[in-house]
Amino acid sequence: MTEKSGPARLTLSRALNEGLRRALERDPKVLIMGEDVGKLGGVFRVTDGLQKDFGDTRVVDTPLAESGIVGTAIGLALRGYRPVCEIQFDGFVFPATNQIVNQLAKMRARSGGHLKLPVVIRIPCGGGIGAVEHHSESPEAYFAHTAGLRVVACGNSPDAYTMIQQAIASDDPVIFFEPKRRYWERAEVDTGADLSSALPMDRARTVMAGDDVTVLCYGPMVRTCVEAAIAARDGAGEARSIEVVDLRSLSPLDTGAIAASVRRTGRCVVVHEAPVFAGLGAEIAARVTEECFYHLEAPVLRVGGFSTPYPPSRLEEHYLPDLDRVLDAVDRTFAF
């Protein structure tokens, strides 16, 4: 059952559901495929009710074979369809890496632009839900490194609603990361708004304005960084005015928005759940240094996971970046 058009407080998972519903209604060539996306409605119930309303030829329960899901989607895209693949958990995407990296990402360039590959691959990402091994990964750097893919990450319900529709409308393949521990958080979503007025999915958004330091983040870390910014302003220690920028697009990066913020604040901290070593933060830090060198008051610092396999659930709170680690990095930028 669809939500009534207009403002409503939706969980992130429900906002995705509504966005998928709008895309299915708008274009008969859009279809959803994945493990348990039909009758069950997906592990996180993101596709709940869609097979019932649109039928099992448009919301397709597939075998447990990620390579087969993505390979079939590539064939469908070449025949004019717009498939949306769901990968149940982030760690399950790796069996499909050959199809994504060697076929999906390259075919449009290989054909000189004659072929369109409008495939969206939805990946619930990150930790924080107490899951077992292979269910809490942050594989965005693999795909951001792969030329030919658009890589985006939503961080809240309004972006989830608009960005999933923009991704489906794109003629380029899109890797769409969804922060699984934020699925149940609610925010106001205007489901009646004209999609053409929404911020393009390849643009960053300033979530909180500030003057002292820029914190760049995405996906599950957006809320954490906002909480850190609020604590820095209201805390008992020296107040810091932190500007929080949600990158939203990881490839391509909105370098214009990033540089504009850092040139104004003079300091920068990059935050993500993935390990710091060779993570996306390294590329962002390098770009900021190149473009903002004469505006920087301190080195660009990075906050992320440790260079270890993701730990058992009982230890994940020690692994995941939290408010204190973000604020520690902010404080260190003032120590230089």
Angstrom distance (rounded) from CA 285 to CA 283:
5
Which helix H or strand E contains 35, and what residues bound it? Answer: none
Please report, for residues 9, 24, 325, the alpha-carbon distance to residue 12 in angstroms, rounded to integers and kept in the order given.
10, 18, 26
Q: Which two tokens stand for residue 187?
A: 């925010």
In whole angstroms, give the CA distance from residue 107 to residue 102. Answer: 8
Q: Is 134 a catalytic residue?
A: no
CA distance 73 to 117: 9
**62 with 33: CB under 8 angstroms?**
yes
Token representation of residue 109: 């360039």
DSSP readout, 112-135?
TT-S----EEEEEE---S---TTS
Tokens of 71: 């390979």
Give the residues across from 32 on adjacent strands. 59, 84
Q: Which of 134, 135, 272, 318 is catalytic?
A: 135
The pairing of beta strand 82-86 with beta strand 120-125: parallel
CA distances from 236 to 208, 228, 292 (A): 20, 13, 31
CA angle 127, 133, 134 (to 5 degrees): 75
Q: How are beta strands 174-179 and 150-153 bridged, if at all?
A: parallel
User: Token digits for 115?
Assistant: 């072929």
Do residues 162 and 198 touch, judged by C-beta distance below 8 A? yes
Tell me which residues are annotated as active site: 135
